[in-house]
């Protein structure tokens, strides 16, 4: 499944991109006056292979949740149970991601790929007709949290592959159900530590530049976190040409699943709007599997986590929003969604100089 997905990912369609650029020149606005939105709409035309590309509607957020053996090293001040408790919050509609999803009209799918502690809610039987406004829980646990990456590989290759394939499957299900754009979300106490290792592994950057304060750790915890990232790289010497091996050695289950989601979206020529540092660390893995997967990626925002900027630079992506967010869950991607939709809408709805009777300069 991973192999056929990777094989299905194609480069951007140059003709559709040229058509979008040409159309922009005829719309009733000064050339280039929509700044980054113009190039974004051109990229999405290239992804879809048609101009204008379809409006990215409806939107579906997929939140992959997992726990981390490295939590035992004291890299986070939050107890591990908070991962499961926040899943309860997501399903009850009480988290920030829910508020933003309601506002954006996006569905929320929570996928347990490896939560360590019992979930407060069991997955309900699917009703015949689902209300997209009600968050859904998918049970797809590979194991109850990763192993401690400072002591051993976090996952076996088979476990990492299972998580990647879950991500691909969720992408397919959401797109089959009609989603026009996928948004990445994540939940996992301690998951900025594996993200920092992944970003260092794929970009070659120093752990000091890829490690941040996550939910807001103090100085001693931060120093410990950087040391953990450095030790993990030294122990595993992950090979960026072997993304499955990197994900297994130093990843998290949600990171692996997100890489799969991104690959699945790219294979279906559907845009995937990236949230913060967890998403972009997974995007590096996806790009290592299939470089052309970058064509499907839109960087929603620049997380306050420094590793996010390192990863975005490596991917060649400019984020749409830069407001110092560091919450995760998919919140930054949801804030950026109207910008993506607006960029595409311009190609659908704005009059040309000719049709509007406006003279050109």
CB-nearer residue toward its own copies: 147 or 345: 345
Binding segment (CB under 8 A) for its own copies, from list 65-73, 87-95, 141-149, 165-173? 87-95
Question: 329 catalytic, yes or no?
Answer: yes
**Among 14, 22, 349, 354, which residue interacts with its own copies (rule: CB under 8 A)?**
349
Binding segment (CB under 8 A) for its own copies, from list 86-94, 153-161, 223-231, 261-269? 86-94
Please report whether residue 351 would count as binding its own copies according to CB under 8 A: yes
Here the tokens at position 215 are 């939910």
Half-sphere exposure for 354 (CA within 13 Å, toward CB): 4
**Among 5, 41, 98, 210, which residue interacts with its own copies (rule: CB under 8 A)?**
98
CA-angle at 207, arms to 312 and 217, nearest 5° = 95
The pattern of x and - marking residues 118 through 147 that bind its own copies according to CB under 8 A reads --x---------------------------
| Residue list 307-346, contact with its own copies (CB under 8 A) | 320-327, 331, 334-335, 337-339, 341-342, 345-346
Closest contact distance (angstroms) between CB of 86 and its own copies is 6
**Among 43, 82, 169, 191, which residue interacts with its own copies (rule: CB under 8 A)?**
82
Torsion of CA 72, 76, 77, 79, to 10 degrees: -60
Please report whether residue 58 would count as binding its own copies according to CB under 8 A: no
Q: Which of 81, 329, 349, 360 is catalytic?
A: 329
CA of 79: how far to CAs of 76, 84, 175, 190, 206, in Å? 8, 10, 35, 9, 28
Q: Are 346 and 37 in contact (CB under 8 A)?
A: yes
CA 113 to mean position of chain CA atoms: 15
Here the tokens at position 107 are 């569905």
| Residues contacting residue 173 through CB under 8 Å, at least 6 positions apart | none
Site size for its own copies, by CB under 8 A? 63
Q: Distance (Å, rounded) from C-alpha 212 to C-alpha 281?
A: 13
Q: Are 275 and 332 in contact (CB under 8 A)?
A: yes
Please report whether residue 103 would count as binding its own copies according to CB under 8 A: yes
The pattern of x and - marking residues 200 through 239 that bind its own copies according to CB under 8 A reads ---------------xx-----------------------
**Which residue, chain included where needed, has tokens 């986590």?**
305
| Residue list 182-201, contact with its own copies (CB under 8 A) | none
DSSP strand E in the chain: where? 59-66, 107-114, 136-139, 181-187, 272-274, 297-299
How many Cβ atoms sit within 10 Å of the Cβ of residue 327? 16
What does DSSP say about strands 107-114 and 272-274: parallel, antiparallel, or unpaired? unpaired
CB-nearer residue toward its own copies: 171 or 334: 334
Binding segment (CB under 8 A) for its own copies, from list 59-67, 95-103, 176-184, 285-293? 95-103
Residues assigned a catalytic role: 329
By CB under 8 A, name the binding residues for its own copies.
Answer: 27-37, 76-79, 81-82, 85-86, 88-89, 92, 94-96, 98-100, 102-104, 120, 215-216, 304, 320-327, 331, 334-335, 337-339, 341-342, 345-346, 348-351, 355-359, 361
């Amino acid at each position: 499944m991973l192999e056929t997905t990777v094989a299905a990912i194609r480069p951007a369609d140059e003709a559709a991109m040229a058509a979008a650029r040409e159309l922009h020149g005829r719309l009733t606005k000064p050339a280039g006056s929509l700044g980054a939105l113009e190039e974004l709409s051109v990229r999405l035309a290239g992804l879809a292979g048609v101009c204008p590309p379809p409006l990215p509607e409806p939107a579906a957020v997929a939140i992959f949740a997992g726990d981390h053996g490295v939590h035992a090293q004291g890299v986070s001040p939050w107890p591990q149970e908070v991962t499961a408790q926040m899943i309860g919050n997501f399903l009850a509609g009480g988290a920030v991601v829910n508020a933003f999803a309601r506002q954006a009209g996006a569905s929320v799918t929570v996928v347990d790929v490896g939560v360590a502690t019992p979930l407060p809610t069991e997955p309900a039987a699917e009703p015949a007709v689902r209300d997209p406004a009600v968050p859904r829980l998918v049970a797809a646990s590979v194991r109850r949290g990763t192993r401690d990456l400072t002591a051993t590989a976090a996952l076996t290759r088979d476990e990492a592959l299972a998580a990647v394939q879950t991500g691909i499957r969720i992408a397919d299900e959401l797109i089959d159900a009609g989603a026009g754009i996928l948004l990445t979300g994540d939940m996992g106490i301690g998951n900025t530590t594996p993200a920092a290792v992944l970003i260092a592994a794929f970009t070659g950057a120093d752990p000091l530049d890829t490690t941040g304060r996550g939910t807001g750790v103090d100085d001693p915890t931060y120093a410990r976190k950087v040391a953990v990232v450095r030790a993990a790289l030294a122990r595993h010497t992950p090979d960026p040409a072997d993304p499955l091996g990197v994900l297994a050695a130093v990843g998290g289950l949600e990171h692996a699943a997100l890489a799969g989601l991104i690959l699945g979206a790219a294979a279906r020529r559907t845009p995937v709007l990236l949230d913060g540092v967890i998403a972009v660390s997974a995007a590096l893995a996806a790009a290592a599997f299939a470089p052309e997967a970058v064509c499907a990626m839109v960087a929603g925002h620049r997380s306050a986590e420094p590793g996010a900027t390192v990863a975005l630079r490596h991917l060649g992506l400019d984020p749409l929003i830069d407001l110092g967010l560091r919450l995760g869950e998919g919140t930054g991607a949801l804030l950026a969604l109207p910008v993506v939709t607006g960029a595409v809408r311009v190609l659908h709805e704005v009059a040309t100089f000719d049709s509007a009777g406006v003279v050109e300069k």
